[in-house]
A and B are shown apart, each in its own frame.
Chain A
Amino acid sequence: MNEPQASMAHYVSNAPFDPFKAEKLTPEQERYYMASQIRMMWWRFRRHKLAVAAAAVILLSYFSILFTEILAPYELHSRNTDYIYAPPQKIHMFHEGSFAGPFVYGLDYKLNMDTLKREYSENLDKVQPIRFLCSGDKYRFWGLFEADFHLVCPAEGGQMFLLGTDRLGRDMASRLLYGGRISLTVGLLGIIISFVLGIVIGGLAGYFGGWVDNVIQRLIEILRSLPELPLWMALSASLPVSWSPILVYLGITIILGLLDWPGLARAVRSKLLALREEDYCAAAKLMGAKPGRIIGRHLLPNFMSHLIASATLSIPSMILGETALSFLGLGLRPPITSWGVLLAEAQNIEAVALYPWLMLPMLPVVITVLGFNFLGDGLRDAADPYD
Chain B
Amino acid sequence: MLGYLGRRFSMMLLTLLAVSVLVFVIIQLPPGDYLTSYIAELESQGEMVNKEKIEFLRSQYGLDKSMPEQYLIWVTGLMQGDLGYSFEYSLPVSEVVGDRLWLSMVLNFTTIVFIYLVAFPIGVYSATHQYSWGDHTLTLIGFLGLATPNFLLALILLYLANVYFDTSIGGLMAEQYMNQPWSVDKVLSVLEHLWIPVVVIGTSGTAGMIRRLRANLLDELQKQYVVTGRSKGLPEGKLLMKYPLRMALNPFIADIGNMLPQVVSGSVIVSTVMSLPTTGPMLLNSLQSQDMYLAGSFLMFLALLTVVGMFLSDVLLTVLDPRIRLEGEIAR
Report how far A240 CA is from B287 CA in the complex, Å.
13
A377, closest chain B residue (CB): B143
B14: Cβ under 8 A from any A Cβ? yes
Which parts of A233-262 form the interface with B (CB within 8 Å)?
233-235, 237-238, 240
Question: Which of A75-83, A147-155, A279-287, A365-373 touches B?
Answer: A365-373
Chain A: how many interface residues by the 8 Å CB criterion? 41
Which of A227, A349, A356, A370 has the largest count of B CB atoms less than 10 A from its CB?
Answer: A227
A229: Cβ under 8 A from any B Cβ? yes
Contact A330 B284 (CB under 8 A): yes
A352, closest chain B residue (CB): B159
Which parts of A202-256 form the interface with B (CB within 8 Å)?
218, 221-222, 224-231, 233-235, 237-238, 240
Which residues of A approach B to under 8 Å, CB–CB?
Answer: 218, 221-222, 224-231, 233-235, 237-238, 240, 316, 320, 323-324, 327-330, 343, 346-347, 349-350, 352-353, 356, 359, 362, 365-366, 369-370, 373-374
Which residues of B approach A to under 8 Å, CB–CB?
Answer: 11, 14-15, 18-19, 22-23, 26-27, 29-31, 143-144, 146-149, 151-152, 155-156, 158-159, 162-163, 168, 257, 260-262, 264-266, 268-269, 272-273, 283-284, 287-288, 290, 295, 298-299, 302-303, 305-307, 310
Contact B265 A225 (CB under 8 A): no
Contacts of B283 in A (CB 8 A): 230, 233
Contact A225 B306 (CB under 8 A): yes
Which of B152, B158, B295 has the largest count of A CB atoms less than 10 A from its CB?
Answer: B152
Minimum CB–CB distance for A164 against chain B, Å? 15
Report how far A4 CA is from B269 CA in the complex, Å.
95
Beyond A238-B30, A352-B159, A370-B147, is A343–B152 a contact (Cβ under 8 Å)? yes
Contact A218 B14 (CB under 8 A): yes
Report how far A226 CA is from B265 CA in the complex, Å.
9
Contacts of A320 in B (CB 8 A): 149
Contact A234 B149 (CB under 8 A): no
Contact B272 A328 (CB under 8 A): yes
Contact A359 B156 (CB under 8 A): yes
B152, closest chain A residue (CB): A362
Contact of A347 among B26, B260, B273, B310 (CB under 8 A): B273
Contact A235 B264 (CB under 8 A): no
Contacts of A221 in B (CB 8 A): 11, 15
